[in-house]
Amino acid sequence: MELQTAKGVRDIPPEEKALKNQVVNTLTSVFELYGFQPLETPILERYETLAAKFAAGEESDALRETLKLKDQGNRDLGLRFDLTVPLARFMAMNPMLKMPFKRYEIGQVFRDGPIKLGRYREFWQCDADIVGSPSLLADAECLAVIDAAFKKLDLPVIIKVNNRKLLNGILGQAGIEQKQEAIIALDKLDKIGSEGVSKEMEQRGYTKTQIAKVLSMVKSKVTLTQLKKNLTSEEGRQGIAELEELFRYCRSMNITSVQFDASLARGLAYYTGTVFEAYLTKGELKSSLAAGGRWDAMIGKFLGGNRDVPAVGFSFGLEPIMEALKLKNNVKIKPAVVVYVLPIGTEKESLQLVQELRQNNIPASMALGKKGVSKNLEYASALGIPYVAILGEDELKKKKVLLRDMRSGTEQLLAVKSILRKIKP
Amino acid sequence: MELQTAKGVRDIPPEEKALKNQVVNTLTSVFELYGFQPLETPILERYETLAAKFAAGEESDALRETLKLKDQGNRDLGLRFDLTVPLARFMAMNPMLKMPFKRYEIGQVFRDGPIKLGRYREFWQCDADIVGSPSLLADAECLAVIDAAFKKLDLPVIIKVNNRKLLNGILGQAGIEQKQEAIIALDKLDKIGSEGVSKEMEQRGYTKTQIAKVLSMVKSKVTLTQLKKNLTSEEGRQGIAELEELFRYCRSMNITSVQFDASLARGLAYYTGTVFEAYLTKGELKSSLAAGGRWDAMIGKFLGGNRDVPAVGFSFGLEPIMEALKLKNNVKIKPAVVVYVLPIGTEKESLQLVQELRQNNIPASMALGKKGVSKNLEYASALGIPYVAILGEDELKKKKVLLRDMRSGTEQLLAVKSILRKIKP
């Protein structure tokens, strides 16, 4: 038997996992600073629950990509494909929850889809949502979290912001009833330009007049003020009013990275108001690093009634964020081990030394085998350990340790106290 | 449709998840201080890989409990039931890894077994292993991690330690060839006493002479010195020598919580030397909080050859640790939100205030709705938020904020600077 991973999944080896943990810890600390509480939902869901999201005919791709299984009681189960359905189910099962409910969840989701570069069948999502508040203050909170997180990650971003009501208004004013496909085409304005969008809309069956009307209003750099002059649709004007209110909150919160973008649509069907996406301000990475919006309809549908349960939220893209950090070339991953203790006939004292280092909060390991000095130095070097503390009979007599700096290759005979001072955690 | 979780799994609501995160973060920090590196393996494995563990006829229960599924390419997959098989596969796929390889992994595993109180079909394991060192220094490192972790968690434990070679020697000297079942019976000595073990061994077909011989050597409080006098078996004496060496290392490392226990066996078949289990020194909780041992044979089997790949490691029991912390009654979970900002007609200034609190590292939320003051105080109280900062027109004029201490109900008119001083993170 050849041992290998299942198709479309992969191991995260130590160095990459260390970076991932750093990103996850940073995002977690920002979520908690902004008053979001952690929630953990199971990976296994009843298949019926997962399918409920698509009852309305939305996104049947994701359901086709759901990994199905049965337990021994022949119950139909599935692996969750996002963290939104479990949240909706959790809300339904806990009607006494105090609203607004601000939660974040970070964990694996599964999609049995085509495998592309950087796309896996098992990957992490990193979501924050505010359920139960229709106020645009909640939308502003989401933008504030994104702004703070990327400042903490030292990744300069702009957050493009738009509103579905504005888009609907523009399309309605152009006489377009079937808005979904037009929204998907418009979303590509930045990538394929006006001509590209025009061509795609034609293919999707919109008339030249409709297309011309839409593109006369939605230009890549159009401002809210310009749009306001041309827009008569009531829904569109409500979208503008919401955007103005939202940007006012952003100014009060000193969120400087937001920027209106009339073409931003976001592919998903269930957004009902604000939508936003964060991109690096420069560099080659084109993927969005975070994205979300207001989705006031879905939880209500899940609850079975027709009432709206307002919700606004977003996901951080863990993979593109890690990619962006790696491209910066100056990611500092703390070395897993700072000091490697190498006993030469001094096991007892070396064990004491390694424990003393740890008690002083210095990550330390000790040579565990009978290998010689040079093999052990090779090992320390391969693991990127910055210091090796060599403790032989000679050093022991002098009550000192020979500390080797692995980067410079220099060695110093030092007392343990001096080592602790030198290597502050 | 009634929305509910799948059978045998559950949601971890915010308060419990916050405690879980605290425990996971504590364990992670200890792992890293002791030089273990993080690894992440996928939840999906090829079914063939999972089944390989049982090729040797071990533990077929766990394989029967494996959740099987197929991807759209009709490939047989399974959800991992432990973190050991993925580690063995990872070692096999990465032959260039530097040894010893010290890794930890924390994540979900799945078993479609009978549901008992506190036993779920999806649960977390929390493993650390050292692969590639036959030295008992590695075993001592594991005990050091466990000792340090429980000190940091403020849970006093004793770690019972034994050695499979010693057990094998004792059983061999009593003329017992079929050792596995005898080991399982002996493991219950603490629970059911000598008489209970004797009865169980009889039922399993051992002779009275055999049983008497075993029980004359293995008593609940027998010491290594006493055993040494009576034991002639070579394997048994090797077990004693290993235990003596291990305890010597523990003394050098100042690990005071270890204790020899001749009856400790650990149910699993694949241990080859040291075995250990950590228990609370007092209290009602009888489950072990951490357990492990040396398993030198399994990875070699996985690699297909017959060579041994030495390994020693252990698991923390996340659930029993959380249970133990809860029973202590003095778990301090940091409140998710420390200050709840309540604007009364002062949205702009309140947004500035909530952001200033966050910039000073104080977790803060703001009222997002149009609810009145008393509804908002109720909300803050239900969420266990210790302070509410009320900002109305009056306060604004005085350039102060009305800070309400939710525990005492007292209110103080304070400048923002004073609030920051009062509520240090």
* CATH number, position A29: 3.30.930.10
B147 at interface of A, judged by CB pairs closer than 8 A: no
pLDDT band at B154 (very low <50, low <70, confident <90, very high): very high
pLDDT digits (tens, 9 = 90+) for A293-347: 999 988 888 877 767 799 999 999 999 999 999 888 666 677 789 999 999 999 9
Identify whether the C-beta of residue B336 lies closer than 8 Å to the C-beta of residue A32: yes
A175 at interface of B, judged by CB pairs closer than 8 A: no
Residue B319 has pLDDT above 60, yes or no: yes
Residue of A164, A168, A236, A172 whose CA lies nearest to A210: A172
Average pLDDT over residues B238-255: 97
CB contact under 8 A, A17 and B38: yes
pLDDT digits (tens, 9 = 90+) for A103-158: 999 999 999 988 776 779 999 999 999 999 999 999 999 999 999 999 999 999 99
Same domain, yes or no: A211 and A72:
no
Average pLDDT over residues A367-395: 94
pLDDT digits (tens, 9 = 90+) for B400-423: 999 999 999 999 999 999 999 999
Average pLDDT over residues B268-282: 90
Same domain, yes or no: A27 and A150:
yes
To the nearest whole number, what is the mean pLDDT of chain B?
Answer: 92
Same domain, yes or no: A225 and A94:
no
Q: Residue B330 corresponds to which tokens in the numbers above?
A: 């003095």
Same domain, yes or no: B310 and B187:
yes
Interface test with A, best of B253, B368, B396 (most A CBs within 10 A): B368
Q: Which of B291, B309, B328 delimits the end of a domain?
A: B328
In a domain, residue B7? The reply is no
Least trusted range by pLDDT, from A116-130, A233-247, A259-273, A328-342:
A328-342
CB contact under 8 A, A3 and B43: no
Interface test with B, best of A351, A377, A383 (most B CBs within 10 A): A351
pLDDT band at A56 (very low <50, low <70, confident <90, very high): low
Same domain, yes or no: B263 and B170:
yes
pLDDT recorded at residue B359: 96
CATH code for the domain in which residue A351 is found: 3.40.50.800
CB contact under 8 A, B75 and A37: no
Give φ, ψ of B398 to 5 degrees. -80, 0
Identify whether the C-beta of residue B243 lies closer than 8 Å to the C-beta of residue B164: no
Q: Which residue of A has its CA nearest to B99?
A: A379
B6 at interface of A, judged by CB pairs closer than 8 A: yes
B83 at interface of A, judged by CB pairs closer than 8 A: no
Same domain, yes or no: B360 and B232:
no
Neighbouring C-beta atoms of residue A397, cutoff 10 Å = 8
Same domain, yes or no: A89 and A110:
yes
In a domain, residue B86? The reply is yes
Q: Which H or E run contains A282?
A: none
Query: Long-range contacts for B383-386 (Cβ within 8 Å, ≥24 apart)?
Result: B383/A98, B383/B335, B383/B336, B383/B337, B383/B340, B384/B335, B384/B336, B385/B335, B385/B336, B385/B337, B385/B338, B385/B339, B385/B340, B386/B335, B386/B338, B386/B339
B364 at interface of A, judged by CB pairs closer than 8 A: yes
Q: Which H or E run contains A132?
A: none
Shortest CB distance from B9 goes to which of A11, A44, A252? A44
A421 at interface of B, judged by CB pairs closer than 8 A: no
Residues constituting chain B: 425
Q: Which of B328, B352, B374 delimits the end of a domain?
A: B328
A366 at interface of B, judged by CB pairs closer than 8 A: yes
Residue carrying the six token digits 């040396």: B294
CB contact under 8 A, A92 and B3: yes
Residue B399 has pLDDT above 90, yes or no: yes
B151 at interface of A, judged by CB pairs closer than 8 A: no
CB contact under 8 A, A69 and B72: no
In a domain, residue A123? The reply is yes
In a domain, residue B383? The reply is yes
Q: Which residue of A has its CA nearest to B337?
A: A35
Same domain, yes or no: A15 and A110:
yes
Average pLDDT over residues B221-232: 90
pLDDT recorded at residue B55: 61
Q: Which residue of A has its CA nearest to B109?
A: A43
For residue B284, the number of C-alpha atoms closer than 13 Å in the C-beta half-sphere is: 4
Distance, in Å, from the CA atom of A379 to the CA atom of A232, rounded to the nearest integer, reads 71
pLDDT recorded at residue A55: 61
Q: Residue B409 corresponds to which tokens in the numbers above?
A: 């109900």
Same domain, yes or no: B292 and B150:
yes
CB contact under 8 A, B133 and A253: no
**In Å, how far are A159, A370, B210, B243 from A262, measured between CA atoms?**
13, 67, 85, 72
pLDDT band at B187 (very low <50, low <70, confident <90, very high): confident
Residue carrying the six token digits 């996340």: B318
Distance, in Å, from the CA atom of A398 to the CA atom of A410, rounded to the nearest integer, reads 19
User: B367: distance to nearest CA of chain A, Å?
Assistant: 9
CB contact under 8 A, B369 and A11: no
Average pLDDT over residues A6-21: 94
Same domain, yes or no: A262 and A301:
no
CB contact under 8 A, B38 and A49: no
Name the burial class of residue B285, with classes exposed (0-12), middle (13-18) and buried (19+) by CB atoms within 10 angstroms of its CB.
middle
A26 at interface of B, judged by CB pairs closer than 8 A: no
pLDDT recorded at residue B115: 77
pLDDT recorded at residue A58: 54
In a domain, residue A2? The reply is no
Q: Which of B297, B328, B359 delimits the end of a domain?
A: B328
pLDDT recorded at residue A284: 80
**In Å, how far are A7, A8, A108, B45, B122 from A121, measured between CA atoms?**
8, 5, 10, 12, 19
Average pLDDT over residues B134-140: 97
pLDDT recorded at residue B245: 97
pLDDT recorded at residue A369: 82
Give strand pairing partners of B386: none
CB contact under 8 A, A6 and B75: yes
In a domain, residue A262? The reply is yes
Identify whether the C-beta of residue A264 lies closer than 8 Å to the C-beta of residue A191: no
pLDDT band at B3 (very low <50, low <70, confident <90, very high): confident
Classify strands B101-110 and B37-38 as parallel, antiparallel or unpaired. Answer: parallel
Alpha helices in A253-314 (DSSP H): 298-302
- Helix-, strand-, coil-residue percentages of chain B, each rounded to 5: 40, 20, 40
pLDDT recorded at residue B268: 65
pLDDT recorded at residue A157: 97
- List of residues 6+ apart from A190 with CB closer than 8 A: A220, A261, A263
Identify whether the C-beta of residue A420 lies closer than 8 Å to the C-beta of residue A360: yes
pLDDT recorded at residue A2: 75
Shortest CB distance from A37 goes to which of B8, B134, B336? B336
Residue of A104, A108, A150, A102 whose CA lies nearest to A125: A108
Residue B57 has pLDDT above 70, yes or no: no
Helix, strand or coil, per DSSP, at residue A72: coil
Give the distance, in angstroms, between the CA of residue A94 and the centroid of all CA atoms in the same chain: 26
In a domain, residue B300? The reply is yes
In a domain, residue B9? The reply is no
Average pLDDT over residues A267-289: 88
Distance, in Å, from the CA atom of B89 to the CA atom of A266, rounded to the nearest integer, reads 40
Residue B56 has pLDDT above 60, yes or no: no
Helix, strand or coil, per DSSP, at residue B275: strand
Distance, in Å, from the CA atom of A282 to the CA atom of A156, rounded to the nearest integer, reads 8
Shortest CB distance from A369 goes to which of B40, B92, B135? B135
To the nearest whole number, what is the mean pLDDT of chain A?
Answer: 92
What's the domain range around A354? 339-422
Same domain, yes or no: A347 and A310:
no
- List of residues 6+ apart from A14 with CB closer than 8 A: A336, B37, B38, B39, B103
Interface test with A, best of B1, B2, B3, B143 (most A CBs within 10 A): B3
Distance, in Å, from the CA atom of A289 to the CA atom of A23, rounded to the nearest integer, reads 12
Same domain, yes or no: B40 and B169:
yes
pLDDT recorded at residue B177: 86
Least trusted range by pLDDT, from A89-93, A369-373, B301-305:
B301-305
Give φ, ψ of A219 to 5 degrees. -115, 165
Angular region, A27: left φ>0, alpha ψ -120 to 50, beta rest: alpha
Number of domains in chain A: 3
Residue B266 has pLDDT above 90, yes or no: no
Identify whether the C-beta of residue B299 lies closer than 8 Å to the C-beta of residue B305: no
pLDDT recorded at residue A302: 80
The pTM of this model reads 0.93
pLDDT recorded at residue B58: 54
Identify whether the C-beta of residue A139 lies closer than 8 Å to the C-beta of residue A250: no
**In Å, how far are A413, A423, B253 from B36, measured between CA atoms?**
27, 19, 17
Q: Which H or E run contains B420?
A: helix B416-422
Q: Which of residues 287-326 of B touch A (CB under 8 A)?
A: 302, 304
pLDDT recorded at residue A268: 65
Identify whether the C-beta of residue A268 lies closer than 8 Å to the C-beta of residue A314: no
pLDDT recorded at residue A409: 95
